[in-house]
Amino acid sequence: MHTLSSHSLPAPVHYTLTPAHPGAHLFKVSCELAQPDPAGQRFWLPAWIPGSYMIREFARNIVTLSAEAGGRPVVLTKLDKHTWQAASVPAGVRLRVEYEVYAWDLSVRAAHLDSTHGFFNGTSVFLAAEGQTDQPCTVDILPPLDPALHDWKLATTLARDPSCPVDEATAFGRFRAQDYDELVDHPVEMGRFTEAAFDVAGVRHEIVLTGRHDCDLPRLCEDLSRVCAWQIALFGTPAPVSRYLFMAMVVGDGYGGLEHRASTALMTSRKDLPYRGMRGRSEGYTSFLGLCSHEYFHTWNVKRIKPAAFVPYRYGEENYTRLLWVFEGFTSYYDDLALLRSGVIGVEDYLALLGKTISRVLSGSGRLKQSVADSSFDAWSKFYRQDENAPNAIVSYYAKGALIALALDLKLRAGSEGRVSLDTLMRILWQRHGLTGVGVEEGAIFDLVAELAEQAAPGAGRLLARWLRSMVSGTEDLPLVRLLRGFGVDLKMEAASSAPSLGVKLATGAGEVKLAQVHDDGAAQRAGLSAGDVLIALDGLRVSSGELDTMLMRRTPGEKVDIHAFRRDELMRFEVELDPPARHQARLTLRETADATALRLRKGWLSGG
Ligand code: ZN
In the chain, what are the domains?
13-190 (2.60.40.3650), 193-278 (3.30.2010.30), 300-487+592-609 (1.10.390.10), 504-577 (2.30.42.10)
* Band of pLDDT at residue 162, cut at 50, 70 and 90: confident
70 Cα to the center of ligand 1, angstroms: 45
User: How many other C-beta atoms are found inside a 10 Å radius of the C-beta of residue 550?
Assistant: 11
Contact (CB, 8 A) for 409 and 422: yes
511 Cα to the center of ligand 1, angstroms: 33
Would you say residue 492 has pLDDT above 70? yes
Query: Does the predicted model carry a pTM greater than 0.95?
Result: yes
329 Cα to the center of ligand 1, angstroms: 8
Would you say residue 608 has pLDDT above 90? no
Q: How far is CA 107 from CA 45, 104, 253, 265, 407, in A?
A: 18, 9, 12, 9, 33
- Give the per-residue pLDDT at 545: 83
- Give the per-residue pLDDT at 8: 62
Q: What is the mean pLDDT of residues 376-382?
A: 98
Helices within 528-571 (DSSP H only):
548-553
306 Cα to the center of ligand 1, angstroms: 13
User: How many other C-beta atoms are found inside a 10 Å radius of the C-beta of residue 225?
Assistant: 17
- Percentages (nearest 5) of helix, strand, coil residues in the chain: 30, 25, 40
295 Cα to the center of ligand 1, angstroms: 6
Beta strands in 503-551 (DSSP E): 504-506, 513-518, 534-538, 541-542
* Band of pLDDT at residue 120, cut at 50, 70 and 90: very high
297 Cα to the center of ligand 1, angstroms: 8
328 Cα to the center of ligand 1, angstroms: 5
Query: Is-cis flag, bond preceding 238, omega within 30?
Result: yes
298 Cα to the center of ligand 1, angstroms: 7
Q: Which chain residues have CB less than 5 Å from ligand 1, an ion? A: 328
Size (the chain), residues:
609
246 Cα to the center of ligand 1, angstroms: 15
Beginning with the edge strand found earlier in the chain, give each strand of the sheet holding 42-44 in spatial order.
76-80, 83-86, 42-44, 128-129
273 Cα to the center of ligand 1, angstroms: 20
Render pLDDT for 427-472 as a digit per residue (tens, 0 to 9).
999 999 999 999 999 999 999 999 999 999 999 999 999 999 999 9
Render pLDDT for 128-151 as a digit per residue (tens, 0 to 9).
999 999 999 999 999 999 999 999
83 Cα to the center of ligand 1, angstroms: 29
Render pLDDT for 87-104 as a digit per residue (tens, 0 to 9).
999 999 999 999 999 999
331 Cα to the center of ligand 1, angstroms: 6
Dmax (CA) of the chain: 83
Would you say residue 1 has pLDDT above 60? no
206 Cα to the center of ligand 1, angstroms: 20
296 Cα to the center of ligand 1, angstroms: 9
240 Cα to the center of ligand 1, angstroms: 18
Render pLDDT for 203-233 as a digit per residue (tens, 0 to 9).
999 999 999 999 999 999 999 999 999 999 9
